[in-house]
Amino acid sequence: MAGVISDMSGSPYARSFGARAQLYDRYRPRYPAAAIDFVLAGRAPQRILDLGAGTGLLTRDLIGRAPEVLAVEPDDGMRAVLATTAPEAEALAGSAERIPVPDASIDAVLVGQAFHWFARPDADRELARVLRPGGVVGLMWNITDRRLPWVSRLYEATEQPAPPEDYQPSDLDDTLFTPPQEFRVEGERELPGPDGLIGLAHTWSWVISRTPEKQRRIDQRLRILISQHAELQRPVIRFPQLTNVIRQYVR
């Protein structure tokens, strides 16, 4: 996983998801247990924080892994869904640059599909502030496996290049955190047929942010793509997925 992507905190897409919170929760993938296991590395944390928690796709799988699970999300719409999908967690308004917890109060921070939205280096310093000595940060991304012949065409239909399989932003500040340890989990995801594939596309920030007319054109191209691939016409669409993970400890 050598690719480096600069942070996108200033992007107009960064706060686009709230309007599609229900769709996001329905069609975006969750995170494999093996990825979480790698981050926690056999430890039994007392307090886990899901940062940039969205609708709680990762939060739900942290419940039971610590006596206390917190979830911080800046978008009101996403956080409202989070409060219903993961009621056992404490849902807090906040951001990576302003985490609403005291100094040295968290054992593990996990970030699913959100780190590239954080403003650097402010977020790095804030992560170091809230972690207890020896605390861990786990950064995760679910990536569609590009070995499937139609995946690149799926992204082309939305006028966006497919992300590289080694997609990741730069590592956390090495003056604050130990060198990154990397891990990859291979798995499979399922979507409920062609409508699920189109629904997934409408959770992508660059699609959400388009005008209604451009979104209709994207839908037309997606329908054409579906008509050309039998595996995209089934009631359940199955395709491989990669989950990339970075683990770093606070110094």
pLDDT for 4: 36
Residue 27 belongs to domain with CATH number: 3.40.50.150
Residue 202 counted as domain residue: no
Residue 1 counted as domain residue: no
pLDDT for 5: 40
Residue 112 counted as domain residue: yes
pLDDT for 149: 81
Q: Please state, in angstroms and rounded to a whole number, the distance separating the CA atoms of residues 230 and 243.
A: 26
E strands within 113-236?
A: 131-144, 181-191
Could you report the average pLDDT of every consecutive run of 10 residues in the chain (251 residues)? 42 56 92 97 96 97 97 95 97 97 98 93 97 97 84 89 64 94 92 95 90 95 96 92 94 95
pTM for the model stands at 0.88
Residue 43 counted as domain residue: yes
Residue 139 counted as domain residue: yes
Residue numbers of the domain that contains 74 = 17-147+163-190+238-249
E strands within the chain?
A: 47-51, 68-72, 90-92, 106-112, 131-144, 181-191, 237-249
- What are residue 141's DSSP bridge partners? 244
Counted domains in the chain: 1
> What's the burial of 245, exposed, middle or buried (CB within 10 Å: 0-12/13-18/19+)?
buried
pLDDT for 56: 97
Q: Please state, in angstroms and rounded to a whole number, the distance separating the CA atoms of residues 181 and 43.
A: 16
Residue 212 counted as domain residue: no
Residue 108 counted as domain residue: yes
Residue 126 counted as domain residue: yes
